[in-house]
Structure 1
Amino acid sequence: MADESRQNKLASAKKMLKQFQQKSTAPTPSGGKKKKKTKETNSHPDTPTSRSPDPIQALLKGLVSDLHRSNGVSFPSLGTMKQTDYDGMKISTGDSKSLSSTDSLRQLSEQLNGLVSQTNSYVNGENVISTTSPELESRFQELASALDSSNLTNKQLSTKIEELKQQNQEIGNQLDKEKKTFEQKFAKEQGALREQLQVHIQTIGILVSEKSELQTALSYTQQAARQKTAESEDLSMRLQSVKQRVTELERTLSSVSTQQKQAEKLNKELEKERDNLRLESLKISKNTDELKQQNSELSEKLNALISENASMRLEVGDLHKRLEMADLMIQQFSSQSGTPDANQQLRMMQEERDQLGAQLTQMSESLQQLSAERDQYVEKLREEGAVWQERVQQLSEQIQLLSQEKESARIEVDKLETRVTELLLASAEPTETEPLAPAGPSEVELALRQECEKLQQELHSLQSRYQAQVQDNSQLSRLNQEQEERLSELEKTLQRQSDDNVDKQQILENMQSDKATISRALTQNRQLKEHLAELQNGFVKLTNENLELTNGLQGEQHVKKELAKKLGQLQESLGDFKEQLAAKGEELQLLQSQRDEISAHLQQYSAAYQQLAIEKEEIQRQYLLQAQLMDRLQHEEVQGKVSAEMHLKELQQSRENLELLTKENQELRAQVLQIRSEPESRVLSRIEGDGVESDAYEGETPRTTLVIPEDFESREEMMAFLNAAISKLQGEREEVERYLGEQKRYCQDLLLQISELRRQQMSGSLHYSAGKCSSSWR
């Protein structure tokens, strides 16, 4: 159990030391403060704390206070006694260490007996036996037991302090050894670095001399490169002129090929449009046949209706006559009212009147049926007019498309004419440096002849298509004329119907006085008139549109005639163009032979220029590599100097840190010794003092500025603080070791950099030697 408690105490002390290290690793001014604090602790080593850590001191205070209460006499407190006899105590501390626990108890008992006797003598001037002797004895026994326990704890603490001293000595020895090893290693590394610096300086001198030689070689190579670049520029100018000529000829060939392709596309599009128009013409012919049949059926129906209307009119006239006769008979019978047969005649007349009314109702029903049939016929006419309007619109759209195609064909013909003129002008320009043409046709001439034959075939096909389109247009014009004739017939039938409607209106006006049905028929007839007027307007519009279509067709026919004339002219120009192409073919052969010769010369010059460019690039690369090496060496020299200075500064700082650590260790040792001597001195001072009140003592104690806490509640707390201080020292040692490891790593990094520099120098020297060999070989 004791070992476990010791281990726990050591762990807590290490934690306290780490915390103390963290606080002490503040900026540099803290060092001065620490020194000041240690000086203050040395100046007041034996000052007692405000609270007594020992149980003996607490018992003594209790005894003194009881004596005060029992006797009513004020005695000086232990604090004042300690302050007054402070100098005497310093002398007696050395002797008190040799005293044993029994001697200290005897001295205490004697002093207490003396105090008790003094208190008894002060009471009324008589020696009175105190009644509190058993209580004092019991307290003395308690004091003795407490003294024994405190002695035991003191012994344990002293053993622990000795162990800690040994550990501190071992740590100091290890630090000294590590210092020595580090200094030796650093001296060796400095010597190696100096040797490497000397080697670098020598290599730099060699590189500077090589650089001057390379600069001279570069100047010679630059002059040769300039001469060769001038020659290459002349050759490139010649090449450009030849290329321009070749490109012009290629452009002419490509333009001719594009024109042929466009003509083929146009022919295909015209064929498709012709087929579409034929299909549409067939559809229109079918629709016209159907419309003819419908018109014939409708005309038959109209004739039947007209005949029915005539018969109805006759019947209506007969009925009017009968009514008039009936009215006359009624008037006569009314004047001859005395006859016996009057009643019978009246009855007969009434029956006839009823019969006539029934006939009138039948006639009204038949009129309604006729009006319904008329409405149906009007709706049919409207539908047919809408269909004709749609067809007319389709025909107008087709005419617009044909006009657009005609314009595009005109534009293409103009382009072809311009190109032909350009080619004629180009062929007319004579070339000064043309050798004699070789015999026999070339491939270009054959290709051009084939293209000309294709163009002639396309022209023939266009002419045939044009004639077919002219025939289609004539057929369409005939169909339009037939439709106009039919429209005129329909107009005539409508006029007849309008005349018939006038007659019907007169009849209805006569019948309007009898019944309201006749008035309805009149309103219907008015509506029919309005519809007829609308239909007439529609027919007028259709006639106007047909006239416009005929005018457009005539214009297209005129345009097509013009196109046929132009095609004839183009055929004539194609013959001329063939002759010019033959001459151009001969020129192309001459130019091809010249181009082959020039291309052979250019290949030779380009091969020589490429070799020069490669050599120039290699020289530039070598120069750049050497310049980079020189810059790197200079930069590394500067870095080496800076790193050496930094290492020296870091070594000085590490030495200063080690000296500070040693000083702090010494100060801690002194503090431990003071702490060991403090409890005995406190006991003696309290036993030998004169005594003043505790309140005055607590007010007079000065507050120390130590890092050590002022109040220790127990011995264990004091030991924990000591262990913490020791662990702090161990942590500082670990930090020093870590710093040494980092410096070692940094030195290793420097060695690696130096090795890389040596490799680069070796590679640069190899490159330089290879460059010299290549230059000498050249």
Structure 2
Amino acid sequence: MIVVERLKICMRKAEAAQAELDEARKQLRMKDIYLRQLGAYTSADTPLENDSHNFSDETERLKSELIRAVDETEKWKKEAQLARERYELYGTQLNQNIVQMSAKLEEMSNEKLVLESKVQALESEIKMLQTIDRPNLLNDDNTYAKNSIELQKVQNELIEVTNDHQKAKQLIKELNTMLANKEQEVLALSSALNDEKSKLMEKNAELVVAEESLARARSIAEEQKKHTEEALSLSEQLQNEKATVSRAITQNRELKEQLIELQDKLVAVTQESMERENGRLSALHQISQLRNELNRISGQSFDGKNVDSLTAPIMPNGDVYEQQQNTQYVDSRDRDEVIMEYSL
């Protein structure tokens, strides 16, 4: 009975292990199908390890491009800021120079007007003095000398004013030339500023494109990173499932070996039991034959009373009846022993 119970327990364990093995194989097939679908989605025909390696390389490449794009963006921003500050400074300085030159030009124009007024006044005075009657001047020497001195003085002032007027004209001419040059510089700087603004707009457009490309690269990198992590996780799960399946196969093999061993033991025990049962049945058959033979002999030689005494075996102590009573209640195994004693 113990062997049978152990056999049943081992069979149940073997069935449970077989069920676990089937479930593990099913999960393994599902993982393989999912991994193939994932490989088809990512357009990868190489094994999973190569896919992970390619994903890592692509992620590193996108990260490098991302860093390079960010560096170029910062460089463009700095260059644009420096150009803007430089041209704003140039514009401010030019405006200040233009304002200063305009003020100076206006001042010189006012001085020119003042000098022209003085020249006109002096010319009028000279004309007035020239219209004075010379005979009257000759009659009065003192008056003539006085008028001559005043005339010389007026002439000197006129010459001085004329020189100042010429200087003012020359200065105004130089200022106009400088103003024209400054205006040319302003135009050149304005043109250069417009060019830089155009370049800045182009850089901004390129920056927008780079930012969009950067966003796409980040999205692709995140998606590929996600797929890589999923692939690695699935690979790890697959390895774990394979290890579980391997352990289940090993356990199943061990249980099968134990089952075979127990079956062999059960067969041996069954054969031994059958042999013992055959021996018991053979002994019972011999007993039956002996009793029949005794009954036959007793029926021929003695009467009914002696037949009862002869049916029991004669023991050395002569206790025939008790021996007969005891043999009627013995177990089959004990009967075998008794028969063996009789045979001895």
Q: Provide the TM-score with structure 2 as the length reference.
A: 0.41
- Report which structure shows greater RCO (CA 8 Å, sep ≥6): 1
Q: Provide the TM-score with structure 1 as the length reference.
A: 0.20
